[in-house]
Structure 1
Amino acid sequence: MKIFDTYSRIYFVGIGGIGMSALARFFYSVGRQVAGYDRVQSSVTDALIREGISVVWDDGVAALPPDFRDRSGTLIVYTPAVPDSHPQLQWFRGHGFEVMKRSRVLGMITEGMKSICVAGTHGKTTISTLTAFLLSRCKIGVNAFLGGISKNFNTNFVGNSRSPLVVLEADEFDRSFWQLSPTLGLISSMDADHLDIYGTFEEVKKGFAGFAQRIKPNGYLLLKSGLEIPENLAAGVRTLTYSLGGNADYSAIHIEEIDGYYTFDLKTQEGVLPGFKMGVRGLLNVENAVAALSLALISGAQYEELVDALPQFKGIARRFDMFINNDSLVYIDDYAHHPQEIKATLESVRHLWKGRRVTGVFQPHLFSRTRDFAGAFAEALNEGLDQVVLLPIYPAREEPIPGISSETIAHFMEPNKCHLVEKNELIPVLNRLQPEVLVTMGAGDIDRLVPGICEWGENYCKSKQRI
């Protein structure tokens, strides 16, 4: 893009983050020299290296690739998850480099394109990825910066120089979405979250209102039905609603389940569009599909293109991700890390596997979130699960908070169904609990346990079949 023509090199401080890695791929795809730092090796950084992008693990200045020590033509991009005390970040600032937050770079991209920005305390990754996939199968095409790894694209970045559209997640953390300039903005949910940043739920709602007020004149705001319509929108912005069912501008009707997958007709303002079929499971994904189809239609996609594309969507890694599904065991992994997300995930599980005993393994994410929502976590887990396994809190960017641990959640739970377990103790506990349906949930490093759980599950199923 012309606004970045002055930069021949881009260095990312925190390149392994899902949003940062998408930006790195974008700049690499348009011919820039790209490198970056991250604290830990991961599947994301491994993929970046395979694609030709350099990654260093040492935060010292000496670890910087020589070319990136020249401030002429070098742009530094950082994530707010990296502290200001980071040695490389301090060195770049002290030596006169151009330094930008990730959200500002995304904002500059949205200013120059027809941008579809998806916001919400949950749902935004699935909606934005599904929207990008649908549009990629349409004549209009799409560019996209995604918050998860699409199973269709096998990446979190989609590039198409011929398309005027860009789809991206609008991140509410650190009020980053205030940097964006959407042509079409969506808000899927506004629950109390990130209270370490916002302080109160009222401030969270003000944050989302500020995002809506960034929509370009004559643009669109698509809201989940029931959410408050923000005031002081730009001139000509049209507000529309969507929902799973009920009275909204866009909604799913005539929903039916066939072999675990849902079919539905889409009610729009122009009439009913029939015959949509899901390619992924879960009732929550039908609502996500309504949102994505609505965004695509507003953006100029055609019904015939969309009805053919939707069944081909394979989903996103760690979003209702099914690994085992047989008479002995069902195993699903999900990113759910907020009480409302847990509730939605478990409602879908209960709907699909009625009458089966459901065991959940949950890794709380952040000490502050655990402190703020311990009772709500316990309620969601109690309602949706027959047995609950709580792993230790994943701290992410935080230092421990005295007196806050997974036991803080357990305190509110039914004692005979809750088990506090270290990660290395999980498999023996699963052997003891004998789950029929198993769900792992969390936004930390619980995904690293998935291969071991799958191996255990395969052996578990074999032992059940021998009985």
Structure 2
Amino acid sequence: MNLHHIDFFYFLGIGGIGMSSLARYFHIMGKTVYGYDKNRTYLTKQLEKEGISIHYHNDVKSIPQWIRSEKCMIVYTPAIPFWNPQWKFLKKNGKHIKKRSQVLSLVTQHSICIAIGGAHGKTTTCSLLAHILYIAGIKFTAFIGGISKNYQSNLILNGENFFLVEADEFDHSFLHLSPNISCITSFDQDHVDIYPEKTSLQKAYINFLKKTKKPYKKILLCKEQKTYPINNAIYYSVGEKNHYYSDCIFMENNKWYFDFHTPEKTWKSLPLPIPGMHNIKNTTAALAISDCLKIHPSKIRKALYSFKGIERRFSIHYQSNGKIYIDDYAHHPTEIKELIHTIRTCYPKQKILGIFQPHLFSRTKFFEHSFAKSLEKLDFLILLDIYPSREDQNNHPTIDSNRLLKTINMSETKKEISRMYEVLDRLEYKNFDILITIGAGDIDKLIFPIQRWLRNKYG
């Protein structure tokens, strides 16, 4: 399908991080972009400021008449429930209806495509690589699964010789892509509603990697994936020799540094832009791809020093009078474990209070004991209700936050349940040095209220 023949785009679920970057792209390309989402958020407000029309009503009367046109494409996210009135109407009346991943495939099909996948780390890897490409002066467009602090957007538009995208495994979305360079940052079971067995997830990843094509046709895998039946793969690791690897990690004045090894040379004492051993692995992936693209080391080093990170990835929102507030998107037990470990490494002997909002009933139930083990690494815990997203609680009657709280092996004085609106009141009685908000739902609504509360209380 030729996107040049499409003049109108209607996004069903425009507020999603992946949907909004595509909406921004087509808006900048001069197309008429309209969208629906159930809630007005900071991101949708930004889209509206940029000139994109958005409405927040389920009724079909809000849908423009031009959605029936042959020149209109309807883009939807799989997170939209089947019973949504607009979705029912659009399926009946729309001419061209595509999933976000299908549209992303159409956008990238005639350029060199770099796709970053994996259960954890793909947004950090993609954002850092995008910054490296920008500093190197390469003409590229990046669709990022988070808001880059350097560019204050999830879309970086700097030409179209290359496209850099995140390969999302949810709903098998990444199988629509045919990248020239593909990378899997980690393999860990997730999206259990789609992949109930780990073998089915592994099969999907392998099918994605097999779609890597010429020119380039490079596949980069972290060392844990050496069991994959992929020929001529390029492996990277931390602390273990591979095609590409990082080692000699040290901290100085609370900043992290490491050495990076290519097949031909070693780059000494590179700065790690975001703390954590997991981010050394993410950075190693970005540097390996950069080396495959023959980007000069001086440009890479400059990018590492100037990279500001991604919103909601170890984002420090307050640091004063012995108190630190960090917000993070972690929503998988492995991610939470790594987050807490990184904080312990950076700030040893500090008391950590975590506010965690579980994301999805299916994920919480499947990883109940793993979540408990990760959250037990905190000194204190405030547990919020499960954020349902696309799921209906009636279909998951056996799991809730009360059950998860009972599974967590902490004393009753150190863990508790709270509603979102009660959090600030509960903080008044807490003794902590570091506060973390954790989760992928709408827990980010607490960021500004907590910031304000900390400033008023501690200056």
Q: 1:57 — aligned with what?
A: 56
Output aligned runs, 1:294-305, within 5 Å: 294-305=288-299
Residue number among 399, 404, 417 corresponding to 2:392 in the alignment: 399
Counterpart residue type for residue 74 of structure 2: I
| Distance in 1 between residues matched to 2:416 and 2:300, nearest whole Å | 45
Conserved? CA contact 1:328–1:436, under 8 Å: yes
Task: Report the AA paired with residue 221 of structure 2.
Answer: L
Matches within 5 A, 1:255-274: 255-274=249-268
Equivalent residue pairs, number: 454
Unaligned runs of 5+ residues in structure 2 are: none
Shift in Å, 1:89: 2.9
Moved more, 216-225 or 443-452: 216-225
* Alignment partner, residue 465 of structure 1: none
1:387 paired with 2:384, answer no
2:270 to 256, 276, 296: 276
Q: Secondary structure at the match of 1:25?
A: helix
Q: Residues of 1 paired with 2:300 and 2:171: CA distance?
A: 35
Corresponding position of 2:349: 355
CA distance in 1, matches of 2:426, 2:94: 54
Distance 1:144 1:304 in 2: 22
Aligned partner (choices 237, 242, 245) of residue 248 of structure 1: 242
RMSD of aligned alpha carbons: 1.7
- The residue aligned with 2:141 is 143
Amino acid at match of 1:182: P
Take 2:126 and 2:360, find their aligned partners in 1: how far apart are those partners? 25
d(CA) in 2 for partners of 1:184 and 1:311? 25
Matching of residues 38-437 of structure 1 within 5 Å: 38-66=37-65, 68-161=66-159, 163-217=160-214, 219-231=217-229, 233=230, 238-382=232-376, 384-400=377-393, 401-416=396-411, 417-437=414-434
**Aligned-partner SS, 2:9:** strand
Per the TM alignment, residue 190 of structure 1 is displaced from its structure 2 partner at its CA by 1.4
Shift of 1:250: 1.7
Partners of 1:363 and 1:441 within 8 A in 2: yes
Spell out, residue by residue over 1:96-135, the C-alpha distance to the aligned partner (whole angstroms, 9 max, x if none): 5111111111122232211111111111111111111111
442-451 vs 194-203, which deviates more?
194-203
- Check whether the contact 1:140–1:300 (CA below 8 A) recurs between aligned residues: no
Q: Which amino acid aligns with 1:356?
A: Q
The 1-side partners of 2:321 and 2:251 are apart by 19
Question: Counterparts of 2:379 and 2:266 in 1: how far apart (Å)?
Answer: 40
Single out whichever of 175-184 and 69-78 deviates more from structure 2. Answer: 69-78
Please state whether the residue corresponding to 1:147 is helix, strand or coil: strand
Q: Would you say the 8 A contact 1:262–1:283 is kept in 2?
A: no
Percentage of pairs with the same residue: 37
Distance (Å, rounded) in 1 between the aligned partners of 2:427 and 2:242: 43
Q: Specify the SS of the correspondent of 1:132.
A: helix
CA-CA distance at 1:278 after TM superposition: 3.0
Per the TM alignment, residue 229 of structure 1 is displaced from its structure 2 partner at its CA by 4.3
Distance 2:427 2:321 in 1: 17
Deviation at 1:261, TM superposition (A): 1.6
Give the 3 Å change call, closer, same or farther, for CA 65–96 of structure 1 in structure 2. closer
Deviations, residues 370-394 of structure 1 (Å, cap 9, x unaligned) = 1101100000111x21111111111
When residues 238 and 140 of structure 1 are mapped into structure 2, their CA distance, relative to the original with a 3 A threshold, is farther
TM norm structure 1: 0.93
TM-score, normalised on structure 2? Answer: 0.95
Partner Cα separation in structure 1 for residue 254 and residue 275 of structure 2: 6
Classify the secondary structure of the residue corresponding to 2:5. Answer: coil
Structure 1 residue identity aligned to 2:171:
D
Query: Is the contact made by 1:219 and 1:238 (CA closer than 8 Å) also made in structure 2?
Result: no
Alpha carbons of 1:264 and 1:415: their partners in 2 closer, same or farther (altered >3 Å)? closer
Gaps of 5+ in 1: 463-467
CA distance, structure 1, for counterparts of residue 279 and residue 321 of structure 2 = 24
Secondary structure of 1:36 counterpart:
strand
* 8 Å Cα contact 1:261-1:282 kept in structure 2: no
Cα distance, 1:333–1:388 mapped onto 2, change above 3 Å = same
Amino acid at match of 2:20: S
| CA distance in structure 1 between the partners assigned to 2:78 and 2:94 by the alignment | 20
